[in-house]
């Protein structure tokens, strides 16, 4: 196990009815003018928008709105939010929605006190030194953005999708009410399952030795998602399975709690971001296609971890099989599960061919080779993309 330092400053309010605590949290931040950030209208349809406005009114806070945050949120929308927040003297950002809304709100929060262009943070041209406080009400279990300091933003003009991570961008509080996810459509529920599992893969497939507790944390999240994912798909308003998915996605990516002291990988995420930067596909659709192929490409680096994954997570019976057969059976079980729940398996399923592979690979390694489990250079990335065609 490696030495580590860990902190997570986000207060979580979890459970049915927790939206009624929003006013208290807003007051605790001393907020007078709140920038309410939301997406394309799902919160209006569900009635959550009205509940949030009532809470803000009760807290004595004025609301200014940034609606229309896109899935794969755009830097142009973030810039609009920054200008609005400055003009209106906003002192708290409140994101109500899925990961895209939360990520856009984080970028606004770090962009307001910065005198340059917010895109500098994604291009690693500037360091984040401060942010406006941010609170969130989550409506989709997937990214973990509600309890981490990461934000992923698309620059559509340049076909780039880049991220930043900062201690300043952690939400001060996040309200997690599983009933708010009952209305998440089937395909987005599938995306959330795949994204959560992928976040665990990025941490679990690690070169670091002697981390039994962290490995079991990871396996626990994976098994919980696998079981509850299918239940939530069968019955979208089942509280228990929605709650278990929500807790799992939050713990899968909250500053690395489940993998403290472990080298992480993250290559597959970086490759996927470059696919969605050009094709505007859902993040998790890209991950579902790429991850089993990344696994096939790298498993021999540390076959014992892939054997453990197959046996403990997918109950592959190792008797009479070679390590290689067991490892490959675990990878196949991953692909089969994704297919069973309706996730895509090939880039061609999304209309993506050979054309942009060189460009995506080049951009993936813009800041250097990627991957902590196996370091991948441009040629490796091309090979994984080709396996995924
Ligand atoms: O825009 P609205 O109308 O709200 O509709 C959204 C959107 O169309 C809808 N939705 C959300 N909650 C709903 C709902 N529909 C009905 N009922 C509800 N309760 O779902 C659609 C997708 O939402 P989005 O926020 O885009 O999904 P997700 O949470 O999967 O976020 C994806 C984004 O997060 C980034 C991805 O790259 C992608 O841009 N990521 C962020 C990470 C982070 N901050 O740590 C890590 C991830 O790996 C990921 O890269
Ligand atoms: Zn992800």
Q: Is the pTM of this model over 0.95?
A: yes
The Å distance, Cα 3 to ligand 2 centre, comes to 25
pLDDT reported for residue 388? 98
Tell me the pLDDT tens digit for each residue of 318-363: 999 999 999 999 999 999 999 999 999 999 999 999 999 999 999 9
Q: Give me the residue label for tokens 């951009």.
A: 363
CA 351 to CA 339: how far, in whole Å?
Answer: 18
- 148 Cβ below 6 A of ligand 1: yes
Atom of ligand 1 at shortest range from CA of 103: 44
CA-based torsion, 316, 319, 321, 324: positive or negative? positive
CA 366 to CA 163: how far, in whole Å?
Answer: 13
At residue 119, the 3 state secondary structure works out as helix
Q: Do domains 11-180 and 184-387 have the same CATH topology?
A: no
- Residue of the nearest CA to atom 49 in ligand 1? 143
With vertex at residue 109, the alpha carbon angle to CA 103 and CA 114, rounded to the nearest 5 degrees, is 125
pLDDT reported for residue 37? 98
**Averaged pLDDT for residues 102-124:** 98
CATH class of 11-180: alpha beta
139 — phi, psi (to 5°)? Answer: -120, 0
Tell me the pLDDT tens digit for each residue of 201-254: 999 999 999 999 999 999 999 999 999 999 999 999 999 999 999 999 999 999
Q: Would you say the ipTM is above 0.95?
A: yes
Q: Note the Cα 264 to chain centre separation in Å.
A: 15
- 181 Cβ below 6 A of ligand 1: yes
pLDDT reported for residue 378? 98
pLDDT reported for residue 88? 98
Domain ranges (residues) in the chain: 11-180, 184-387
- Are 65 and 36 within 8 A, CB to CB? yes
- Fold of the domain spanning 184-387: Dehydroquinate synthase-like, alpha domain (1.20.1090)
- 101 Cβ below 6 A of ligand 1: yes
């Amino acid at each position: 196990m490696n030495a580590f330092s860990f902190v997570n400053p986000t207060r979580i309010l979890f459970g049915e009815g927790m939206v009624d605590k929003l006013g208290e949290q807003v007051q605790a931040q001393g907020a007078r003018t709140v920038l309410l950030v939301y997406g394309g209208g799902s919160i209006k349809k569900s009635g959550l928008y009205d509940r949030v406005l009532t809470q803000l009114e009760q807290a004595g806070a004025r609301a200014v709105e940034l609606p229309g945050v896109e899935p794969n949120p755009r830097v142009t929308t973030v810039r609009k939010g920054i200008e609005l927040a400055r003009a209106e003297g906003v002192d708290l950002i409140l994101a109500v929605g899925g990961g895209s809304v939360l990520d856009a709100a984080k970028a606004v929060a770090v962009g307001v006190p910065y005198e340059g262009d917010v895109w500098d943070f994604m291009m690693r041209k500037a360091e984040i030194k401060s942010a406006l406080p941010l609170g969130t009400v989550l409506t989709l279990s997937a990214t973990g953005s509600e309890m981490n300091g990461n934000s992923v933003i698309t620059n559509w003009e340049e076909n780039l999708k880049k991220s930043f991570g900062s201690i300043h961008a952690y939400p001060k509080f996040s309200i997690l009410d599983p009933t708010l996810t009952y209305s998440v459509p089937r395909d987005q529920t599938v995306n959330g399952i795949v994204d959560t599992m992928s976040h665990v893969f990025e941490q679990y497939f690690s070169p670091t030795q002697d981390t039994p507790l962290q490995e079991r944390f990871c396996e626990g999240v994976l098994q919980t998602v696998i079981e509850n994912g299918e239940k939530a798909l069968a019955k979208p308003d089942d509280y228990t399975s929605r709650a278990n998915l929500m807790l799992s996605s939050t713990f899968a990516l909250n500053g690395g709690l489940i993998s403290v002291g472990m080298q992480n990988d993250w290559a597959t995420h970086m490759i996927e971001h470059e696919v969605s930067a050009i094709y505007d596909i859902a993040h998790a659709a890209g991950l579902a296609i790429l991850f089993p192929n990344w696994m096939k490409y790298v498993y021999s680096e540390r076959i014992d971890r892939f054997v453990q994954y197959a046996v403990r997570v997918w109950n592959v019976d190792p008797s009479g099989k070679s390590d290689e057969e067991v490892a490959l059976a675990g990878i196949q079980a991953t692909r089969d599960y994704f297919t069973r729940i309706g996730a895509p398996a090939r880039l061609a399923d999304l209309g993506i061919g050979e054309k942009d592979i060189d460009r995506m690979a080049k951009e993936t390694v813009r800041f250097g080779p990627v991957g902590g489990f196996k370091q991948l250079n441009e040629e490796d990335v091309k090979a994984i993309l080709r396996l995924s065609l």
